[in-house]
Amino acid sequence: MIPDPEFSGKSSTEKDESTVQSSPATSPSLEELIEKNLEEKSSVNPFSEEPETNYQDAFAMPESTSNSNVKKVMLFTSIFLFLALVIVGGRWWYKQSTVTPRGLMDQAETSIHNGDIDAGISLLTQLIHTFPDAPLTALAEKRLKEVEQEKEFVAAHGMNRSEFVSQLLEKAETAFQRQRYLIPTDDNVILYTRQILEVDPVNPRALELEASVLHFYEKKAEEALSKRRIRQALRFYENILLIDSTRVDIQQKIANLRTRRR
């Protein structure tokens, strides 16, 4: 049995309203969504600036640390400047202290000792010209002459005097051991000692070798006389005069022997 609408709990109008309310809401269309999205984007200002980041504040050191670093830099700078002044002042003082007669003389001798002959000559010349009345000037003039002679010697012989003398002494020692006192003429003791004494007049070993040779001939002459070998004794005495012509005593002995032979 169909109920009568007149006797139902709600009227037809109320039923229509409830039907409308209970029906689901209609969803927006695609066009509406696109339009809404465009409106939202257009509302944003593309030229709006982002808030700036203060990097100085981000990396800034505490004030106490900054002051400490400044003090360190100032300290290191002061030390560097002090050392620079010490070095410059030391060089200036050294230069001033060496421009004296003694300073120049010492520098000259050092240069000569190290083989720098030209530097030694230059320093000695500077001393002589700069300090003509200094007590060391006379010594410097003498030394300059010696050094110039040494330079000429090296140019002539290809070696310095010390090397030259050393080589000749070695030859003289060998000749002495072989008893080559005066012969052969190109390889004997006296030949080498004379060359040494020309370069070094007071060379002790060369003088000693010559004295030994003289003593040898004098002894041989006495032995010959003891055996009445006058001619042989004369020859030994004459050899002595070849080495040392100033021996007046030997000259007298030779004269006496020649008289005895007559």
Structure confidence at residue 23 (pLDDT): 46
pLDDT at 240 over 90: yes
pLDDT-derived band at 15 (thresholds 50, 70, 90) equals very low
pLDDT-derived band at 7 (thresholds 50, 70, 90) equals very low
Average pLDDT over residues 186-214: 96
How wide is the angle at C-alpha 25 spanned by C-alphas 22 and 31, nearest 5°? 165
pLDDT at 16 over 60: no
Up-side HSE of residue 220: CA atoms within 13 Å toward CB? 15
Structure confidence at residue 32 (pLDDT): 72
pTM for the full model?
A: 0.52
Of the listed ranges 4-18, 129-143, 226-240, the one predicted with least confidence: 4-18
Domain ranges of the chain: 94-158
Classified as helix, coil or strand, 85 is: helix
Rg (CA), the chain: 60
* The CATH number, out of the four listed (1.10.238, 3.40.50, 1.20.1070, 1.20.58), of the domain defined by the range 94-158: 1.20.58
Structure confidence at residue 261 (pLDDT): 72
Under a CB-based contact definition with an 8 Å cutoff, are residues 197 and 207 in contact?
yes
Q: What percent of the chain has pLDDT over 90?
A: 52
Under a CB-based contact definition with an 8 Å cutoff, are residues 213 and 249 in contact?
no
pLDDT at 12 over 70: no
Distance CA 79, CA 91 (A): 18
Structure confidence at residue 88 (pLDDT): 74
pLDDT single digits (tens) 129-164: 999 999 999 999 999 999 998 899 888 888 888 899
pLDDT mean across residues, the chain:
81
Of the listed ranges 17-21, 134-138, 210-214, the one predicted with least confidence: 17-21
State in Å, rounded, how far the first CA of the chain is from the last one.
208
H or E element at residue 179:
none
Average pLDDT over residues 205-231: 96
pLDDT at 94 over 60: no
Distance CA 228, CA 260 (A): 11
- In which residue are the tokens 């120049």 written? 104
Average pLDDT over residues 74-91: 80
pLDDT-derived band at 60 (thresholds 50, 70, 90) equals low
Distance CA 258, CA 239 (A): 16
- In which residue are the tokens 């002539």 written? 156
Structure confidence at residue 26 (pLDDT): 55
Of the listed ranges 17-31, 68-82, 85-99, the one predicted with least confidence: 17-31
DSSP letter for each residue of 187-199:
S-HHHHHHHHHHH
Structure confidence at residue 89 (pLDDT): 67
Q: Of 109 and 160, which is predicted with more confidence?
A: 109
